[in-house]
Amino acid sequence: MSDKEIRVRFAPSPTGYLHIGGLRTALYNYLFAKNKKGKFILRIEDTDRNRYVEGAVDNLLSTLNWAGLQADEGPKSSGDYGPYLQSERLDIYNEHIKKLIVDGKAYYCFCTQERLTELREKQKKEVIQTKYDKHCLHLTEDEIIQKLNDKTPNVIRLNIEPNKEIFFNDIIRGEVTFSSDTIDDQVLIKSDGFPTYHFANVVDDHLMKITHVIRGEEWISSTPKHVLLYDYFNWERPQFAHLPLLLNPDKSKLSKRQGDVAVEDYMQKGYLKDALINFIALLGWNAGDDKEYYTMDELINAFSLERVNKAGAIFNLDKLDWLNAEHLRSTPNDKILIMLKDEISKSNYSNFDCTDEYLLLIIEAMKERVSFVKEYIEKCPYFFEPPIEYDEKVVKKRWKDDSQELLKIFSSRIEQLVNPRKEDYERILKKLCEEKEIGLGRLIHPLRLALSGVGIGPGIFDLIFILGKEESLKRIDKALDQIK
């Protein structure tokens, strides 16, 4: 297998949004494939028609594309092993199930739901494992033909041989062993003619030449059934790797009850894709060092399944926020500009008229002070409108007896400037403070309050330079009139 092209797949069901755990599964498949110069395949497992959600396939594709996980083969990509929608592969499954029936590895089951319910209740009372009792395995060929001709509702089940040990090697967990006595005769073809996940999954993985099956640990208990199907068909098994669970901080399984679990939620909240991918990659994997900041290329170069942990991974939102800030600071200003303009178009300042140069000055001044693009608006609305009111606590603390006099003098001096630079404002402010024999803060604090209405923000000289001389003079005059 080492000489073969590495081929992995992400095979979600179109049942709604993309779970954050699903994104991690897709990411680990993608990183592994790219690290090995292999192929990342997207297959849509849409055979459960009761759970199918209209539009979910397009949503999955757009979310994966947003995250940068473009498939080499898939529903909207080229590929030699399609179709990549299971609902379009029914003839393939029908062809393969016939072989299993002929070989005695699968059989028709005509049991009614009432009989199955009675059987399950009886087994529960006897405190034994609830599983099918192979009742229909003993039907004669004539009985089966008669029932099929009568169109008696039926399913097709996997024939599990008793008293067998089933084992497989897991790249993350080592050798895993199950007794066949604990495994139910799994339904392979449902009464509606559609295959179950277990059957379609194995047939497709084989026909699509999947070399490594990388998925969540919740599928470990199903893997023996899949292994048996490979053996029954006399097919080479892929290598398996089962990823650890994602956990809430209280160690419970990550669920919607305790927070957002849909990738779309994090997109809407303004998380950068690079930050989310970086964060998700570290949920269960590390490169063996203390490095936490990664670009996609760095993840591809460093990733290996051997360094995926067995233990569950804690979903720490604070760490995601920190990573978002780090990635935002590493983003070129021209790219932030595009995102900021989009945020402005969705905000109360959608009609705000300004140049790209103006926004780029804001971006540079606030870059170390924001964690999300939207905070360029939320944390400094004074760049988009004059302050309507002034923070009372800051007024009480920073507006001194001489604040009015100092601001009037400062205002009169900057009024004389022509096309002032940031250094000109700094020179005038420092000179005035020297003349009055006061610390710089004595003027800086009331000046900031006059210009922004608050007590924190970017450097004061950045603030006044970005607003410009005329706007700054207006705001100082207004503050002198309103703050007493």
pLDDT in tens, 154-185: 999 999 999 999 999 999 999 999 999 999 99
- Alpha-carbon distances, residue 147 vs 52, 163, 468 (angstroms): 30, 31, 87
pLDDT interval class at 421 (50, 70, 90): very high
DSSP string, 251-311: SSBP-GGGS--BHHHHHHTT--HHHHHHHHHTSSB--SSS-----HHHHHHH--GGGB-SS
Dmax (CA) for the chain in angstroms is 111
| Whole-angstrom distance, CA of residue 464 vs CA of residue 458 | 10
Q: What are phi and psi of 7, to 5 degrees?
A: -135, 120
* In 103-232, alpha helices (H): 113-125, 141-149, 197-207, 223-232
Q: Over range 106-121, report the average pLDDT.
A: 97
Indicate which residue of 164, 256, 269, 291 is catalytic.
Answer: 256
User: What's the pLDDT tens digit per position in 297-325?
Assistant: 999 999 999 999 999 999 999 999 999 99
Q: What is the mean pLDDT of residues 109-113?
A: 97
What is the full DSSP assignment across 72-131? Answer: SBSTTS--SS---BGGG-HHHHHHHHHHHHHTTSEEEE---HHHHHHHHHHHHHTT----
For residue 295, pLDDT beyond 70: yes
- Chain-centroid distance of CA 304 in Å reads 20
Query: What number does CATH give the domain 90-243?
Result: 3.40.50.620
What confidence tens digit (pLDDT) does each residue in 224-265 have? 999 999 999 999 999 999 999 999 888 888 876 666 789 999
CB 152 within 8 A of CB 167: no
Angle of helix 223-232 relative to helix 197-207, nearest 10 degrees? 50
Cis peptide before 238 (omega within 30 of 0): no
Quote the pLDDT of residue 254: 86
Three-state DSSP at 396 gives: helix
Query: For residue 322, how far is the Cα from the chain centroid?
Result: 16
pLDDT of residue 257: 62
The secondary structure element, H or E, covering residue 407 is helix 403-414
Answer whether residue 137 shows pLDDT above 50. Answer: yes
Q: Which are the contacts of 128, defined by CB distance < 8 A and separation ≥ 6?
A: none
Sequence spans of domains, the chain = 90-243, 331-385, 386-484
Question: What is the predicted pLDDT for the residue at 259?
Answer: 66
Beta carbons within 8 Å of 29's beta carbon, 6+ residues apart: 8, 9, 10, 40, 214
Predicted local confidence at residue 3, as pLDDT: 67
Q: What is the mean pLDDT of the chain?
A: 95
The model's pLDDT over 64-99, given as tens digits with 9 standing for 90+, comes to 999 999 999 999 887 899 999 999 999 999 999 999
Spatial neighbors of 197 by CB under 8 A, at least 6 apart, are: 13, 45, 47, 48
Give the whole-angstrom CA distance, residue 339 versus residue 347: 13
Give CA–CA dist 39/209, Å, rounded.
10
Annotated catalytic residue 256:
yes
pLDDT for 62-72, tens place per residue?
Answer: 999 999 999 99
Q: Summarize the confidence of residues 116-140 as an average pLDDT.
A: 95
Backbone angle region of 300, left / alpha / beta, with phi > 0 → left and psi within -120 to 50 → alpha: alpha
List of residues 6+ apart from 99 with CB closer than 8 A? 233
Rounded Cα distance, 413 and 416, in Å = 6
Note whether 204 and 89 are within 8 A (CB).
yes
Selected from 3.40.190.10, 3.40.50.2300, 3.30.420.40, 1.10.10.350, the CATH number assigned to the domain covering 386-484 reads 1.10.10.350
pLDDT score of 1: 45
